Chain A
Amino acid sequence: MNIDLTDTTSARINTALVQGRRSVGAAVGMVLTLVIVTDEGNHYDALKAASEASKEHPSRILVVIKRPGRSPRERAGARLDAEVRVGGEAGNGETVLLRLHGELSGHAYSVVLPLLLPDAPVVVWWPDEAPAHPADDLLGTLAQRRITDAAATEDPVAALVARAEVYAPGDTDLSWTRVTPWRSVLAAALDQKHTKVTAAEVEGEEYNPSTELLALWLAERLDVTVGRVVSEGPGITAVRLTTADGVICLDRPDGALATLAVPGQPDRHVALHRRSTAELIAEELRRLDPDEAYAGTVRHGLGRLNTPPGASAADVAAPPPAAEPTGTRTPAKAVAKAPATTSTKAPVPRASPTKAAGRAAKPKPKADGKNGKNGKPAA
């Protein structure tokens, strides 16, 4: 059932929601409010993914579409148009499309606030452009979880560096969600094989934040140098872990079926397809507490996103020029920050402050540190 409301108020939208629910007669217990902040061009895909995810998590989906207007007259005005969808193809739960015209587009917070479900947790998702500081954004303060997508931005790796710097508990990124199956297969492979990993290598597309995150995660968890190899894609194509017995290799050339090769065992095929946004969102909504693994990974990496230790010279040259300044600036910062951030989370034996600082100053980053300090003369 669709109810269109033009030039409306939050109170009338609430009434329409109650009316819609009654006429459909569906008693669905909604478990969370999902706020999608987007624009006219991107809302269709985002809403489609969210509706699909709502089959697993019945939710109230509020789509905030900002339309500040092009002419001064449009910008000065303020109007709220809403479209209430209950039942039918809207998935489980309720969907409200909010079009904020003119000046109102700057006040999404006060429009959304009265429409949140009572008591239920709130998740905010920016499918494309996210604010520079999601946790400080007014809408972000409402939410338990804030989902961004670095892969949807112009410069994904730079976006990831920026996210890492402003990380607050509850932040997450879809490019991190994309590596979950990789992480679980790799962890399972090491479960069976109890030899120490001495080196690792991640192979993937050039402008792919997920590849970087997977490399960082391996570096953080295994405490080894991780090489980064650029390939044609799609996405991440291979991970190789060097052990005393040989190389554990997880290879996915086609983006659908991977081969796991463990020394001393026959090769196995693992389904590792590239998942749709709906699946990613559904996975993110399953947990509503802060993602500690993600926090550890992005904090660990900070400055070394672009130049992982052990990367070949060709790889150092690979990162996009726009990311270069941030990349060279951050290592010094990361070292300075490391003791403070790690001491707050005591039970992480692997990343002790001295170790983190020591590792950051190892061969490769040493050169970086120099560049960072004497950044101007070098440039």
Chain B
Amino acid sequence: MPGYLEEEGIDSQSVTDTYAAVKLEIDNRRWAGVPFYLRTGKRLGRRVTEIAVVFQRAPYSPFDATETQELGHNALVIRVQPDEGVTVRFGSKVPGTQMEIRDVTMDFAYGESFTESSPEAYERLLLDVLLGDANLFPRHQEVERSWEILDPVESFWARHGRPAPYAAGSWGPAEADEMLARDGRSWRRP
């Protein structure tokens, strides 16, 4: 699979970005200390849109450290597309006398509960356009506010640095992994 710079008709010196990862925070009391990590990119491992709420580790006081070290972070994953659904991920004890923990999932798949599959996202939007229903569209104020967040990032990148390269079919450049490693986290594999 060719990368963007190897595509036909693309300047091999191009600085067009195909991947973005940002960390955002909301500056108020309610959301203090909750980082939002967003990432998007072209030609990553696979096409997937998800929102993952990763919970903080609870204090597992009754158990000692070796018993809970295999425990991952509990997570609530909302799968937007494809294979729409919700997954809850949590640790569970493996049956038996040994104290071993394994992460398990609780799954709801939209496609399994309804024999009818939901329409593609753009099908629905086109129908709304025809009906004149603007509920699912952002208003111009929202769009402008969104750009207020992104414009400083864009202008900084335009002046400093080049996009970090990543292999086609991978989950993005190593720099994005470093960004999360600085916070003691790592990207989950979607």
Q: Are B70 and A114 in contact (CB under 8 A)?
A: no
CA gap between A327 and B105 in the complex, in Å: 47
Residue of B nearest to A58 (CB): B104
Residue of B nearest to A115 (CB): B46
A132 within 8 A of B: no
**A25, A30, A120: which has the most chain B beta carbons within 10 Å?**
A120
Q: Are B45 and A27 in contact (CB under 8 A)?
A: no
**From residue A57, how far is it (CB to closest CB) to chain B in Å?**
9
Question: Given that A10-B46, A113-B45, A119-B75 are contacting pairs, would A22 and B112 also be in contact in the complex, using a CB cutoff of 8 Å?
Answer: yes
Q: Are A113 and B112 in contact (CB under 8 A)?
A: no
Q: Are A289 and B112 in contact (CB under 8 A)?
A: no
Q: Determine the chain B residues whose CB is within 8 A of the CB of A11 once the complex forms.
A: 46-47
Interface size class of B (residues with CB under 8 A): 20 to 34
**B47, B77, B83, B102: which has the most chain A beta carbons within 10 Å?**
B102
A152 within 8 A of B: no
CA gap between A138 and B102 in the complex, in Å: 25
Q: Are B72 and A119 in contact (CB under 8 A)?
A: yes
Q: Is the interface of B mostly helix, strand, loop or mixed?
A: loop
Q: Determine the chain A residues whose CB is within 8 A of the CB of B72 once the complex forms.
A: 119
Q: Are A118 and B106 in contact (CB under 8 A)?
A: no
Q: Are A27 and B46 in contact (CB under 8 A)?
A: no
Residue of A nearest to B73 (CB): A119
Question: Given that A10-B46, A11-B47 are contacting pairs, would A118 and B169 also be in contact in the complex, using a CB cutoff of 8 Å?
Answer: no
Can you list 29 A-B pairs, Cβ within 8 angstroms, ordered by A? A11-B46, A11-B47, A18-B83, A21-B112, A22-B112, A25-B112, A27-B107, A27-B112, A29-B104, A29-B106, A29-B107, A30-B105, A31-B103, A110-B1, A110-B167, A113-B169, A118-B189, A118-B190, A119-B72, A119-B75, A119-B77, A119-B89, A119-B103, A119-B189, A120-B103, A286-B94, A287-B100, A288-B70, A289-B70
Q: Which A1-54 residues sit within 8 Å CB-CB of chain B?
A: 10-11, 14, 18, 21-22, 25, 27, 29-31
| Complex interface bits, A284-296 against B, C-beta within 8 A gives 1, otherwise 0 | 0011110000000
Residue of B nearest to A110 (CB): B169
Q: Are B105 and A29 in contact (CB under 8 A)?
A: yes
B23 within 8 A of A: no
B141 within 8 A of A: no
**From residue B86, how far is it (CB to closest CB) to chain A in Å?**
13
Give 4 nearest A-B pairs by CB, closest first. A114-B46, A110-B169, A114-B45, A113-B45
A61 within 8 A of B: no
